[in-house]
Structure 1
Amino acid sequence: MAGKLYALGRWAARRRRWVVAGWLLLLAVVGGLGITLHGNLSTQFSVPGIEAQRATDLLKKEFPEAAGADARVVFAAPPGATLLSGKEQAAIASSLHNAASVAGAISVSDPVTGQTMSADHTIGFADVQFAKAAGEVPKSATDALISAMGPARDAGLTVEYDGSAMDPTVSVSGPAEIIGIVVAFLVLALALGSLVAAGLPMVTAFVGVAIGVLGVEFVAGFVQMTETATTLALMIGLAVGIDYALFLVSRHREQLACQGDDELDVQDSIGHATATAGSAVAFAGLTVIIALAALSATGIPFLTVMGLAAAFTVLLAVLVSLTLVPAVLAFAGERLRPRAKQRRSRSARPDSAGAWGLAWARMITRRPVAALLVCLAALGTVALPVGHLRLGLPGSETQPVASTQHRGYDLLGQGLGPGYNATVTVAVDTARVPEAQRTALLDNLADTLRGDTGVAAVAPPVTNQAGTVSLLSVIPTTGPDDQATTDLVHRMRERDKQAVTQAGGVMYVTGTTATAIDVSAKLADALPLFIAIITILAIVLLTIAFRSLLVPLKAVLGFLLSTAASLGFAVWVFQDGNLTDAFGVAAAAPVVAFLPVLLVGVLFGLAMDYEVFLVSRMREHFEHTGDAREAVAHGVARSGRVVVAAALIMMVVFGGFIFTDDPVIKSIAFSLAFGVLFDAFVVRLTIVPAVMALLGHRAWWLPRWLDRVLPDVDIEGARLPAPTPTANTPATTPVRQLDHV
């Protein structure tokens, strides 16, 4: 593999104008398609096969007017008045009359006639039903609904909005993301010691990310895709795009720093950097791509699309690093060669850039057991909250405190009780029930539901025109995230279905709350299989890369430990409600249901980036010297600075997304940022050197029969052609002369 990448790097350097032009043309074409033909992105997470989704499918077919999106308008009377006061009641009636004329609205309830008011009549709500599904209701319709409430606001009432039709759109263009990019540039400048060199990874990464995200936007016109998918593609693509380019630029400048007989020609250095660091990039990128694509093994469409979208941007980041980066390096030419006072011979001791890494490695390898125990204890402590992990989907309480959804949620809980935010819908298909028995069946079911201690109220049934499908709205006594509400849904499915089934009908429990419960259970069931797939994948790939059995096992155990710590920290903050003000968390709530699966897939790939880049330098030194302990120190000294810089870049890129308003993006970014922190600094830079020192030469042991079977990918570039010496070539060789080298 190294030989082919060496040839690719030199080809890209020689044909740099064609390579850059090709990428810019691709950007223009994909960008044009993504901007002009982009599809609509959804905020809903649906999972085929779960009961709640089967009920939704039934409603779309048999009761379409009840399957569309809804908007809940919450009214709060001004101090000293009620919703039944003359002026206030007239203002509400006028507002609801206006709402009935909003395009797409098919029904509007009334808090007075529907008795959806608090006991003191100060807080109430009205539901506006739309014909179209959530995500298909145009913004013009929701804006018109807000305008329709003008009479109520003019009368002094507080008006807030909630419901699937009012879901906020995801915005990721805030100042925190911009600050993150600026900090990433500063980290690059410090790591590479050159503003020109620092700018190259930023530029090339933006090209890959722009193509990736705009391509995903275009595909969204043909495939149902959530807003989270494009944001995840942006986060992952930007982080790995900068990191992969950093690996190549750093190796290139390290080689250009050599002097005397070891001084390299620019194009030869580009070829060697692409072969060595590029091999690590290609291998690490492959693990990220496969891990993200493996999300399809969960059998959950929105996760599959999310994983494939992110995998596509990672693939582009790899291709950009192996072609566009060498071409741009060729354009930069001698400008990237360190100044004479910074240059050194390969045989010299590591310069100050690697001195701290060498000192750190020496300290760890002198006391590997102590370092290992301290790290295991620290990560184990952080991971403890995983023991009480609860999964769910983000509700209105997790929206920003200042948002209308959050305020509406609080008003309903305050006035009518927490269960009004957790309404459960019971759908009953009575097509096979004799028509004369349908009313009695529904009345008996409603009475049974009212008799449950976990039910606060049951609304009268609503039936479609054919009389074959009916809906009952059940109000629990507890909120949507309460375990008691989950238990109620399970009781309804296990106990109350029996009478309906015996009468010939089919009963489904659905609604937002039931959907969240079903999705969480589905994802919890998929997690063990996914972890098993990722674990086996890691062992196989790393065994091929490093021709060792113990190194892959160590890498996988470290990855699982850092993942557990990251998830434990997320539980401690988002579910347990600690440090909520610091991270802008609106309310303590169950962890987003698909976060563990997504975290395992993404963090696995990112962890393997650092593992491959760090251990490949250890392997490279061991192949040349046979000294296992010195190989550990050499690997950390040579790669430590780059791994630290790469980790910091990922952390600040992900960290910028922590302060977005969307609770899903916030939790994903938080978990990834701290997952990188734990994995890079604790696992890869501390636990890995300690374990490698304890294993010694045994770390590189591989049975002979397996050695014969495994393909030799030569990730260290041991069989590359000898570098072309340019000791007599002036350092000021014009860039244009490189075409003739």
Structure 2
Amino acid sequence: MPQTPSGPPAGLQRPGPLGRIAGWSFRHRGRTVLLWLLAIGVAFGLSAGLGGKYSADYSAPGSDSKQAQELLARDFPGLGGESIGVVVHAEGGVAGDAARAEVQGIIGRMAQVPHVAAVDDPYGPRGKVSPDGKTAMGQLHLDVANAPDMPKDDTKRLLDLAGGAHGGLEIHLGGMTVQQAEQGAIGSEGIGMAAAALILVVTFGSVVAAGLPLLTALGALAVSSLLLPVLAAVMPVPDWSTSLAAMLGIGVGIDYALLLVTRYREWRSEGLEPEAATVAALDTAGRAVVVAGLTVVVSMLGLFAMGLSFMRGAAVSAVLSVLIVLAASATLFPAMLGWLGRHIERLRLPLPRRRPDAGVAVGAGWLRWSRLVERYRVLGAVAGVAVLVALAAPFLGVRFGFPDAGNDPAGRSNRQAYDTVAAGFGPGSNGPLLLVAELAPGTGPDAVAGLPAALGKVAHVVAVTPPVPSADGRAVLLTVVPDSGPQSSATGKLVRELRDHVLPEVAGTGVRVHVGGATAAAIDSTANISRRIPLLVGGVVTVSMLLLVVAFRSLAVALKAAVMNLLSVGASYGVVALVLEGGWAGKLIGIDNPTPLPAFVPVLTFAVLFGLSMDYEVFLVSRMREAWLRTGDNAESIVGGLAGTARVITAAAAIMVAVFAAFVPSPDLPIKVIGVGMGSAILIDATLVRLLLVPAVMHLLGRGNWWLPAWLDRRLPQLHVEGHTEFYLPADRPELPELPEQPRPAATVA
């Protein structure tokens, strides 16, 4: 093994900032770890003292349904917040005196539960009894604006009261609050960490080497998870953002540390002492980690273009998690190497050991694969694109919308309430439209007296309740029941018909009618997000490409990365659409019937996946550029870069897939779907895209991969993302081991 000094040769430039931070952390490892423990303690104190509740407003800002919601909150206190449906069913009928007494007794006890602000008795003016007399329906109005604000313990008390009905009565409760209370918790983070640990041990063959990425990720996760409640105190943060932040924190934390461990071992194999190898690892691979992390941050900040408060909360949560991971990679990881660096190969498992090639961390198997891709680059490029397009095809038939109780597992109260209402009153009763007529000053409730009759004549409207004026006479409330369910496209058409044609024609002078309710709000939210998607995609792709141009000083690399990432994201969308169809693929993850895709899920996953896909692009291309700058040989640079990073990319992808897959069993459908989308995207991206499509296309582009106009080259800052490897490598280091049985092609496309 060639020996080199334990640091940069004399007379050469000092290590960059990351290298200097790593050196300080290595030498002051005890102090660094204490600072991280102090950060955990401070985060815990802030969370306990200042932490707020998670909340989210999914309504579309400025939409008609949002205005209806605001009028309900202003003029009908108790009706503008969340509500719980109370569905009573008895085969012998619900209209008898005994049934009434039993139901009203239970309803009375429910009214005493905290956060129940008002009750619509199933037998009262705002209640309903089905035509066959077997089903009755009422509501509990809560004093919370959003379902996550309702304590689950209080909802469970309501469920227990409903379950205590006697005399052949069945009482089912339905609504978002009930859905959340019935969802069990799964320790997805623990499952993901366990799977990652197994993959790391198999990859490195050493418990010590495998433990370093895990400890780094755990340290970062401890701080970020404790700070999320503090963030929720200053801005709206949805409760599911904790799972998203955990996914990212665990995944990128382990991935980044995995890359650093791999590079550290390579520098050790070159003869560097532990401190010098630590500095070299952070000064080279650490730069790629920072650029990769910044691409994730840029992608998540793109969610601000959506103009939705819950998207901003999710984005800031994810950004916070990634930034803390970067801090841990730059400080906590080198500090642990100070103790464990010399013992990184200890506690080896009885696995077959790979023989390193003369100072080069390139396995013969991956080198053969790299040569194979070089030889069949045209076939590889065509086949890769064809497979991605085929995987994306199911997304063309996806149905956007918000899943409701009809998509819940059978047996839950929420699903039973939904099915009972649909059977007794028709599917539209599960998604009634709330019409709020805003009266101008001097206009009385008589101005809307003819509205129910006019609405009753509209096609696809089966019922209209009598107008209910507000206490101050400024507004009137009506309920319209369509003949189609909340997820039906016919309901969406009815909402648009009412707003665009019916209501402007039948509403009297001085009356403005808004169509609201949960169904209308879901329709408006989906339309609002769909309109803003081009802003997100255009902004994230443009900024990410600019970052890559600066990092790699190449137009082709940036453009190719954007196109490849869009293809891999599209393929993952196709996988998500396939499982949401509820067929064999859906049943594998607990989706039994066709389910709509919430519009915010593909938006959120796009931002995350585009950033994570850039991670692998940075890992791969930074090694290719490193070789290109040393040799000027495009073909050898691509072969060497792929062979040198394929193992770490596949291991990192396996870890990320395992972490995301651990969230698939979640009972929360958006989290389940996000897990499916991200896991499939990373699998596709790290195998088909990075190991086949990217190198094949780069071989076809030849030296054009590294072209940048001279005028632009002079104006761009120098990031040196590949690091200054010449400071640490011996002059006689071989580039790649020879494989005489698989020689390179005679010609390389230029």
The amino acid that maps onto 1:386 is: F
Residues of 2 paired with 1:402 and 1:208: CA distance? Answer: 40
Q: 2:522 matched to which residue of 1? A: 516
Instruction: Pick the aligned partner of 2:393 from 372, 379, 384.
Output: 384
Question: Does 1:564 pair with 2:555?
Answer: no
Structure 1 residues 215 and 169, CA, compared in 2 at 3 Å: closer, same or farther? farther
What amino acid does structure 2 have at the position aligned with 1:604? F
**Aligned pairs, how many?**
713
- The Cα offsets for residues 279-337 of structure 1, whole Å up to 9 and x where unpaired, read as 11000000101110121111111101111110110011111111111111111021015
- Aligned amino acid, residue 11 of structure 1: W
Partners of 2:394 and 2:584 lie apart in 1 by: 12
Instruction: Summarize the Cα distance change of 1:23–1:571 in structure 2 as closer, same or farther, 3 Å threshold.
Output: same
Q: Judging changes above 3 Å, is the alpha-carbon distance between structure 1 residues 433 and 484 closer, same or farther for their aligned structure 2 residues?
A: farther
SS for the counterpart of 1:33 is helix
Q: Is the 8 A contact 1:264 1:723 kept in 2?
A: no
Q: Please tell me whether residue 236 in structure 1 is matched to residue 248 in structure 2.
A: yes
Say which of 691, 697, 708 aligns to 2:703: 697
**Which residue of structure 1 aligns with residue 11 of structure 2?**
none
* Aligned equivalents of 2:297, 2:618: Cα separation in 1: 15
Match of 1:540 among 523, 532, 546: 546
The normalised TM-score by structure 2 is: 0.90
Q: Is the 8 A contact 2:469 2:476 kept in 1?
A: yes
Q: Which whole-Å CA distance do the structure 1 matches of 2:74 and 2:466 have between them?
A: 22
Select which of 517, 523, 528 maps to 2:534: 528
Q: Aligned partners of 1:344 and 1:570: how far apart in 2?
A: 41
Partner of 1:369: 378
- DSSP 3-state at the match of 2:527: helix
Amino acid at match of 1:75: V
**What does the per-residue CA deviation read over 1:453-482, in whole Å, with 9 as the maximum and x for residues that have no partner?**
211211222221111111111111111111
Q: Secondary structure at the match of 2:434?
A: strand
Corresponding residue SS for 1:668 = helix
Aligned to 2:311: 303
Does 2:191 align with 1:179? yes
Contact 2:583–2:592 (8 Å) recurs in 1? no
Cα contact 1:572–1:578 (8 A) shared by 2: no
Structure 1 324/103 Cα, relative in aligned 2: closer, same or farther at 3 Å?
closer
Q: 1:69 is matched by which residue type in structure 2?
A: E
- Counterpart of 2:688? 682
| Residue 656 (structure 1) aligned to one of 662, 669, 674 | 662
Looking at structure 2, the residues matched to 598 and 238 of structure 1 have their Cα atoms a distance apart, in angstroms, of: 18
Q: Which amino acid aligns with 1:202?
A: L
Counterparts of 1:92-131 in structure 2 under 5 Å? 92-114=103-125, 116-131=128-143
For the 8 Å contact 2:68–2:515, the answer to whether it is kept is yes
Question: Cα distance 1:491–1:557, how it changes in 2: closer, same or farther (>3 A)?
Answer: same
User: Relative to 1, partners in 2 of residues 1:422 and 1:405: Cα closer, same or farther, differing over 3 Å?
Assistant: same
Is the 2:303–2:536 contact (alpha carbons within 8 Å) kept by the matching residues of 1? yes
1:454-493 → structure 2 map (5 Å cutoff)? 454-493=460-499
**Structure 1 equivalent of residue 286 of structure 2:** 278
Change in CA separation of 1:646 and 1:515 when aligned onto 2, cut-off 3 Å: same
What SS does the aligned partner of 1:479 have?
A: coil
Q: Which amino acid aligns with 2:158?
A: L
Give the 5 Å matches for 1:139-538. Answer: 139=152, 141-149=154-162, 153-168=165-180, 174=186, 177-256=189-268, 258=269, 262-337=270-345, 347-348=358-359, 354-432=363-441, 434-435=443-444, 438-439=445-446, 441-499=447-505, 503-538=509-544
Q: Which moved more, 1:330-339 or 1:68-77?
A: 330-339
Provide the C-alpha distance between the structure 1 equivalents of 2:360 and 2:608, rounded to a whole number of angstroms. 37
Report the Cα distance in structure 2 between the residues aligned to 1:53 and 1:339, rounded to whole angstroms.
Answer: 60
Contact kept, 8 Å, 2:402 with 2:598, in 1: the verdict is yes
1:391 deviation in Å? 2.1
Structure 2: how far apart are the matches of 1:196 and 1:146? Answer: 49
Measured in 2, the distance between the counterparts of 1:555 and 1:199 equals 32
Offset of residue 443 of structure 1 = 3.0
Alignment gaps of 5+ in structure 1: 726-741
Instruction: Identify the range of structure 1 (538-547 vs 554-563) with the bigger mean alpha-carbon deviation.
Output: 538-547
- Cα distance, 1:179 vs structure 2: 3.0
Amino acid paired to 1:95? I
AA aligned to 1:640 is: A
What's 2:712 paired with?
Answer: 706
Give the Cα–Cα distance (whole angstroms) in 2 for the partners of residues 343 and 177 of structure 1: 31
> 540-549 or 141-150, which moves further after superposition?
141-150
Distance 1:567 1:150, change over 3 A: closer
CA contact (8 A) 2:622 2:721 kept: yes
Contact kept, 8 Å, 2:373 with 2:696, in 1: the verdict is yes
Per the alignment, in what secondary structure is the counterpart of residue 85 of structure 2? strand
1:132 partner amino acid:
V
- Please say if residues 20 and 324 of structure 1, whose CA atoms lie closer than 8 Å, have aligned partners that are also in contact: yes
Aligned to 2:662, what secondary structure does the other structure show? helix
For 2:723, what is the secondary structure of its paired residue?
coil
Structure 1 residue 84 displacement after superposition: 2.5
What's the counterpart of residue 67 of structure 1? 80
Question: Which range moved further: 626-635 or 27-36?
Answer: 27-36
The residue that corresponds to 2:34 in the other structure is: 21
User: How far 1:689 moved relative to its partner?
Assistant: 1.0
Task: In structure 2, give the amino acid aligned to 1:424.
Answer: L
How many Å separate the matches in 2 of 1:26 and 1:415?
57
Report the AA paired with residue 421 of structure 1: N
Give the superposition deviation at 1:575: 4.6
Deviation digits for residues 574-621 of structure 1 (CA, Å, limit 9, x no counterpart): 156552210112532221111121121100110010000011111111
Contact 1:389 1:571 in 2 (8 A): yes
Q: Measured at CA, do residues 43 and 305 of structure 1 come closer, stay the same or move farther in structure 2, by a change above 3 Å?
A: closer
Q: TM-score, normalised by structure 1?
A: 0.92
| 1:625 counterpart (607, 627, 631) | 631
Q: Secondary structure at the match of 1:119?
A: coil
Aligned to 1:731: none
Q: Gaps spanning 5+ residues in structure 2: where?
A: 1-13, 732-750
